[in-house]
Chains A and B, each alone.
Chain A
Amino acid sequence: MPDPLIEARQVEKFYDQPSDNRIQVIAPLDLAIYSGEILTLLGPSGSGKSTLLRILTGLSPASSGQVLWHGSPVNGPCENVSIVFQSFALFPWLTVIENVEAPLKARGISPGGRFARSLRVLDAVGLDGFENAYPKELSGGMKQRVGFARALVVEPEVLFMDEPFSSLDVLTAENLRSELLELWEDKKMPTRAVFIVTHNIEEAVLLGDRIVVLGKNPGRIRTDFRVDLPRPRDRKHPRFTRIVDYIYQVLTQPDTDHVLPATGPASGSPQPASGSPQSDRRPKYPMLPHARTGGIAGFLEILADHNGREDVYRLADLLSFEIDDLLPIVEGAALLGFVKLTEGDAEITPAGLEFTHADILRQKELFRNAALEHVALLKQIKSALESKSDHTLSDEFFHDILDEHFSEEETVRQLETAINWGRYAELFDHDSERKRFFLPEETPGDPPNVEVGTET
């Protein structure tokens, strides 16, 4: 095995909290990028994949652990890497050519050499004739080509791409992907390795020589395997769909370790999945998937139409959803006990079936019962409100409980989701102006004497 270009050793990211807990974004993990490979990093939102990219490039420091660049530790941005950004990150006040020239300017290259090199790269990505346009005059796909050109003009050893195709429409993305592969296969770029972060499973399988799947909460490596399908890859090929299916299985079953499927001659160095130790100092707080109640109801309807059982991958394809859109909904439905997940398939439960047949009011009732039975946060909010004589509590109260377990951003999203679910289930209501939770006027049922297990 050759020496890696970039290697992360026991790299982790966490945010220290005033109390003893810390918010773990990425659990300690090892990851190496080797010469000659396209590595795709796949993971649901909140798995810290963009954070990991920034740690590997040296843009943001790891909380602990080490990043090595050709064997020597990295301190600050790496010497010879580039990033292609999701939002393109072009300077709107510079023309196309000035944008591409900017990194060369930073290296003190003379105007003449700079110009010639930039033109050559612009040519290679199919942008000749657009040198003097401003980014705002270009379409999304053209902008990302400028992003490519800017990244390639410095002849980076490793090209990092942070969801480079996800703000483009389907056709443009497909087009750019194949052009990227063409540049790579024909060795038209001097780059020795490409590292692509994505949340699109098909994209990962289309592009990757090696696929690393991250799990979330905290981010950790779930599986790491080589793909040796010949290029160009055919989406309809059974081996292609098998790999996609396998990744769905990994993503939809958060708690079991996975063995590699038969993806042909699985060579390379498949690292043991989630072999990294996890600093679990306390039982993890159950996380609400960010799904809207309407989305869950719609998902159940569709599942019922498919005779109650369907492959999640096929559903995503059918709905043209990406995993970031569909997974929270599937997880939400599973959390409520409306579906069961097996082997990458979603199967509707009797409770879920009853839900789809019920009328609106009955649906709310079923949702309420399921929520109180399965969703710890909603239960906790309700009983906390009931234990107060005026049946109202400020956001801060729940915020303080949650931010022991989640990052600030995640805490806000957790509360938002809880409010959405709680309102739909008519468990409680929320006044966004005064930032308070409160119980609706007449609460059905008698207040159960549940102890509020919270400390402040």
Chain B
Amino acid sequence: MTVPGLSRSLIPDRTWNFFMDAIIFAGLFALVYAIVAVARYWFSAPVAAVEISLSPTAIPRYAFYSLVRMIVAYLLSLVFAIAYGYIAAYNARVEAGMLAVLDILQSIPVLSFLPGVMLAMVSLFPSRQLGVEFGSILLIFTGQVWNMAFSFYASLKALPRELVEASRVYRFGAMQRFLQLELPQGTIGLVWNSMVSVAGGWFFLMACEMFVLGKRDFRLPGLGSYLQSAASAGDTAAIIWGVAAMIGVVVLIDQLVWRPAIAWSDKFKQEQVESSAAHSSAVLNLLRKSPLLTRLRAGVTSPLMERIYSSAAHRPAEEKSQASPWQRAFVALAGIIALLAILYGVYQGLQLLKGITTAEFVTTLESAGATWLRVIAALAIASAWTIPAGVAIGFSPRLARIAQPLAQIAASVPATALFPVLLLGLISLGGGLNTGSILLMLLGTQWYILFNVIAGAIAIPSEFREVADIFRFGRIDRWRTVILPAIFPYLVTGLVTASGGAWNASIVAEYFHFKGQVLSTFGLGAEISSATDSGNFALLLLSTIVMATLVVSVNRLVWRPLYRRAETRYRMEA
């Protein structure tokens, strides 16, 4: 810039860029150290139950270990989700089956995977800490992967026809098609679902890091274990430290990762005109300005991508090469092996279930009923306050500006971290876990409803409200003829997510180690948790099947028809 008067105003900008570079550089350095530290820890001799120190000074190390677990689990989920979605979307023969599997897996609570995953991993790496660690990571993975897979599948299915045709007529190779068409199309869905998934990961972190499996005690160094140990010991100061640390980490990640990711993913919107309400993130803007990253891109990433493209060029994805007989035989063989494995699994499962007495069976059904009632109660209470609050926020831009960021922070705090604090309060009030667990479910799931109702209320065309004003609708008429029908599709979406979340939350909400004893109440979640604790695999299997069946059938019989109704009758059409 040669205009002298302007140069001063450029200074802060430049300083920031340098500052940003310094931060990025330091970050890379720290990353290298972190990898070394993690590697040393992972390949050390296995210690199943680490002694957890309750001193606040230990918190940074625990937070670091938890974070590494979350990151690895998330990356695994991402790769798996993309692969699963891709296969399901492009292979008509397995599509329906793969979707049904997703539906069922999504309804199975994390703890039900625990024994299988843990025992398998420990026996796979008997002499390294890696086994235990990987078990915990896989547990987190099972809690977050399914909705991401579904999201990617759905966006592949929604690829605009003419874009697909353009990529075909211009002879994109499989790699280019993936990088320039399929992945961008799926990005927005993946980002939002990643946020939900990772939030779910934090929610179940305590359950994934510290648990008893029959006679074996597993305790991994991490924030989750810290919180649980603090709760068991009844150390109020440590509980508060732990909760504060967890909230801090979650809010930090929200600001440093998810906000920038959302703002960045705006460019993948399928829109023809630029919308005025674009997301923005200060962090992203700084990152974009960083000279170091720009140089990295020009020097490393771009040439690398070029290599990939040019090696993949001239090999159109099109060429419908006839599968060779060998290939076909291989596929058939794989299919047969998979089928045999499934049959064997079913047989073993049935053998296991033989040990269940009729009384146990009846108890399981009864406990399922109890949990169901709790889920309904939690949804009802959540709806009762979130619908009016959400509509009020949605109707008033001023209120929205204040309330929405607050609600987002509140929602990002994993409710499980607050359990110990709440339990302290509940016990001092003399309440038990029976009603307490409803409160805990509520904490975890009400946000889904709130955010959807806000979105729905914002989407109501102002003409509708003007009609209601002009014809002097009373309060009841206003709600019945304008507001409720208009927010219905959003409300259903929120309720579906909340209902799934409440079922899943029951396993931690109904059963809790606190002050050296087990607090629990009668319910399916408590049954699953205690079965895991005591290593009663037959009961664990039975209660898992009952829960999955319940959740899937409620989805099919209640939510799906409501969804369809929302899509047809209550859809706003331009």
Contact = CB atoms under 8 A, between A and B. Distances in A.
B567 to A, nearest CB: 13
Contact of A106 (B176, B268, B272): B176
B314 A108 contact: yes
15 contacts: A54-B165, A59-B165, A59-B168, A78-B169, A82-B170, A87-B162, A89-B165, A92-B267, A102-B176, A105-B176, A106-B173, A107-B171, A107-B313, A143-B272, A150-B166
A92 B176 CA distance: 15
A345 to B, nearest CB: 37
Contact of A103 (B160, B170, B271): B170
Most buried by A among B170, B314, B319: B170
A196 to B, nearest CB: 16
Nearest to A60: B165
Contacts of A91: 163, 166, 180-181, 184
B275 to A, nearest CB: 9
Contact of B271 (A87, A107, A136): A136
Interface in A74-97: 76-78, 81-83, 85-87, 89, 91-94
A81 B165 CA distance: 12
A14 interface: no
Contacts of A105: 176, 309, 313
A444 interface: no
Given A103-B171, A134-B267, A136-B273, A111 B306 contact: yes
> Top 4 closest A-B pairs, CB basis?
A108-B313, A103-B170, A89-B162, A93-B184
A83 B184 contact: no
B398 interface: no
Interface string A210-251: 000000000000000000000000000000000000000000
Interface string B267-292: 11111111000000000000000000
A150 B306 CA distance: 19
B320 interface: yes
A27 to B, nearest CB: 24
Interface in A11-41: none
A45 to B, nearest CB: 17
A135 B274 CA distance: 9
A107 B165 contact: no
B318 A77 contact: yes
Interface string A42-79: 00000000000010010100000000000000001110
A186 interface: no
A395 to B, nearest CB: 13
B310 interface: yes
Interface in A142-164: 143, 150, 154
Contacts of B273: 136
A416 interface: no
B472 interface: no
A89 B176 contact: no
A106 B175 CA distance: 9
B93 interface: no
Given A136-B274, A433-B568, 18 more contacts: A54-B165, A57-B169, A76-B319, A81-B169, A87-B162, A89-B160, A92-B267, A92-B268, A93-B267, A102-B172, A102-B176, A102-B180, A106-B170, A107-B171, A111-B306, A136-B271, A137-B274, A143-B272
Q: For chain A, which range describes its interface: under 10, 10 to 19, 20 to 34, or 35 or more residues?
A: 20 to 34
Interface residues of B, number: 36
A143 to B, nearest CB: 8
A77 B274 CA distance: 33
Contacts of B272: 135-136, 143
A110 B311 CA distance: 11
A139 to B, nearest CB: 9
Contacts of B267: 92-93, 134
Most buried by A among B165, B302, B309, B319: B165
Interface string B314-346: 101011100000000000000000000000000
Contacts of B269: 92, 136
Contacts of A137: 274
A433 B314 CA distance: 52
A85 B161 CA distance: 11
A106 B306 contact: no
Contacts of B309: 105, 108
B475 interface: no
Nearest to A143: B272
Contacts of A59: 165, 168-169
B8 interface: no
A433 B181 CA distance: 37
Contacts of A111: 302, 306
A108 B310 contact: yes
Contacts of B316: 76-77, 106
Most buried by A among B176, B272, B309: B272
A102 B166 CA distance: 10
B180 A433 contact: no
Nearest to B314: A108
A110 B303 CA distance: 11
Contacts of A107: 171, 313-314
Interface in B255-272: 267-272
B166 A106 contact: no
A83 B318 contact: no
Nearest to B265: A93
A143 B273 CA distance: 11
B169 to A, nearest CB: 5
Contacts of B268: 92-93
Contacts of A154: 170
A151 to B, nearest CB: 9
B40 interface: no
Interface string B363-405: 0000000000000000000000000000000000000000000
B215 interface: no
Contacts of A83: 165-166, 169
Interface string B160-194: 10110110111111001000110010010000000
Contacts of A57: 169
Most buried by B among A77, A105, A136: A105
A137 B278 CA distance: 13
A348 B314 CA distance: 61
B569 interface: yes
Nearest to A91: B180
A103 B167 CA distance: 8
Contacts of B318: 76-77
A89 B170 contact: no
B561 to A, nearest CB: 13
Given A91-B181, A93-B268, A136-B272, A85 B166 contact: yes
B171 A106 contact: yes
Given A76-B320, A103-B170, A107-B314, A433 B176 contact: no
A278 B187 CA distance: 48
A154 B309 CA distance: 17
A233 to B, nearest CB: 30
A54 B313 CA distance: 23
Contacts of A102: 170, 172, 176, 180
A135 B306 CA distance: 23
A93 B313 CA distance: 21
Nearest to B319: A76
Interface in A309-347: none
A83 B166 CA distance: 7
A32 B166 CA distance: 23
Given A102-B176, A106-B176, A77 B271 contact: no
B214 to A, nearest CB: 51
Contacts of B310: 108, 110
A71 B310 CA distance: 31
Contacts of B271: 92, 136
Contacts of B165: 54, 59, 83, 85, 89
Contacts of A78: 169
A259 B321 CA distance: 47
Contacts of B181: 91
Interface in B531-548: none
